Amino acid sequence: MEPVFQHLLILMVVIWSVAVLLRRIGLPTILGELVMGVVLGPAVLGWIEPSEIIEILAEMGIFFLMLHTGVETKPREFYAAMRNAMGIAVVGAIVPFTVAMSVALAFGLPPMTALFVGLVMTATAVVITIKTLRDLGLQQTTMARLITAACLIDDILTLVLFSFAVGLMNNGAVDLLAFMELAGKTILFFGVAFALGYWLYPLFKHPFRSRKGKGFTFILIMGLGLGLFAEALGLHIILGAYLAGLFFEEKVASPELIQKVEDRLYGIAYSFLGPIFFISLGLHITFDSLKGPGLWFVLVLTFTCIIGQTISAGGMARLKKFSWVESLIVGVGMSGRSGMAFILASLLLGMGAIDVNVFSVLVFTTFLLDIFTPLGLKACHILLKRQQQPIDSEP
């Protein structure tokens, strides 16, 4: 039997210690969780190996993080963010894809492999940004909602284009039918999700009118149902989790019940399963990819993705009348790459579209981008506080 509970005890001690230490010095806790994943994993101490149990807990962590984010977001705010996020998401996807593909070509990779490198480096890490913004107290800002919406749009675009590229690799030509099929499934998913939100949720007003209502169980059922529906259509479970939480609002349930559900989800998402997900990202890191030209490949790819993402997404935010610091937060906040990038890279490795060396470069680059995002957001937060300080009048 695997030492599941021993590993879980180690993880819980690390999660608690990191939270206590980093909050005391004002750094996002996710930074310590990512680093400790590397320290505990095969790269350094080797105390915890990636296992099926940890991967399951990590996947559940992503689910609960997005479910909680949906519950604390009002639908009206989400719709406004989606309208404003479309340009940011599209431009913020095209530029990183282009620069990542160009770097891969410059390091001698074949065009098809370089195409896949560009796609993997386009998938954003919404959960990392959400966690960091919460640590910094910015989770209820317009910037946070805009980043969340833009990241979700980017992930959908990445999945559609990934299907397009796989069809191109397998058939030697553009598979327009597969492309249209996935686009249709995406439209179907959002249609069903919004129909449930508008017509099914209000039917439960009576049992949800007090704090004693079974709102937590209902949200879990809806989150899992919509999440599995999304995966059956070739999308990601986080979309279903987010939308299931989004429609649990005050016109459906009492404010006391919503607060009760949010508190329970917060404990699971940010004190248990969510941190396990962030630690699990570090468990996949090895230093094999840093040998020879791999080191330069990782460094150049990381640097160009940061610059490309920050300028493109931040520049579009600036066009929408955000201040330059707020625009910088949007650009930096979309720089992380995690769950979706790991999934796509693993699929490509299994299909033989990339080799082990390229896979290692993608994993290490993703990890460095995930380290940069909380550090960059912390620096931006300092700038934001200085910008918001009132200017003392002259005597």
Coil, strand, or helix at residue 316? helix
Strand ranges for 12-82 from DSSP E? none
CA distance 13 to 301: 34
Structure tokens at 10: 């180690």
Cα 87 to Cα 154, 327, 335, 366: the distances in Å are: 11, 13, 16, 24
pTM of structure:
0.77
Q: CB–CB of 274/359 below 8 Å?
A: no
Region 75-99: mean pLDDT is 85
Coil, strand, or helix at residue 138? coil
Give Cα 151 distance to the centre of its chain. 7
Cα 176 to Cα 154, 230, 317: the distances in Å are: 20, 21, 32
- CA dihedral 158→112→306→239, nearest 10 degrees, is 10
Question: Which segment of 171-175, 198-202, 236-240, 359-363 scores lowest on mean pLDDT?
Answer: 171-175
Query: Per residue in 17-73, pLDDT tens?
Result: 998 888 888 777 888 888 898 899 888 888 888 888 888 898 898 889 888 888 887
Coil, strand, or helix at residue 249? coil
pLDDT for residue 300 is more than 90: yes
pLDDT at 235: 76
CA distance 366 to 380: 21
Cα 291–294–298 angle (5° rounding)?
125
Query: Per residue in 247-268, pLDDT tens?
Result: 888 888 888 888 888 899 989 9
Structure tokens at 73: 């977001």
Query: Per residue in 123-142, pLDDT tens?
Result: 787 778 888 888 888 877 88
Question: Which segment of 103-117, 175-189, 318-332 scores lowest on mean pLDDT?
Answer: 175-189
Query: Per residue in 273-283, pLDDT tens?
Result: 989 988 987 88
CATH domain 58-385 topology: Na+/H+ antiporter like fold (1.20.1530)
Going by the DSSP 8-state scheme, the letter that residue 126 receives in this structure is: H
Query: Per residue in 179-189, pLDDT tens?
Result: 677 778 888 98
Q: CB–CB of 31/22 below 8 Å?
A: yes
pLDDT at 387: 75
Q: Which residue has the higher pLDDT, 289 or 380?
A: 380
Question: Which segment of 171-175, 238-242, 291-295, 327-331 scores lowest on mean pLDDT?
Answer: 171-175
Per domain, the residue ranges of the chain are: 58-385
Question: Tell me, what amino acid is at 97?
Answer: F
Give Cα 249 distance to the centre of its chain. 23
Cα 263–266–268 angle (5° rounding)?
115
- If you search the block for the tokens 């993880």, which residue do you land on? 11
64: nearest Cα among 265, 337, 258, 225: 265
CA distance 40 to 48: 6
Band of residue 122 on the pLDDT scale cut at 50, 70, 90 = confident
pLDDT for residue 307 is more than 90: yes
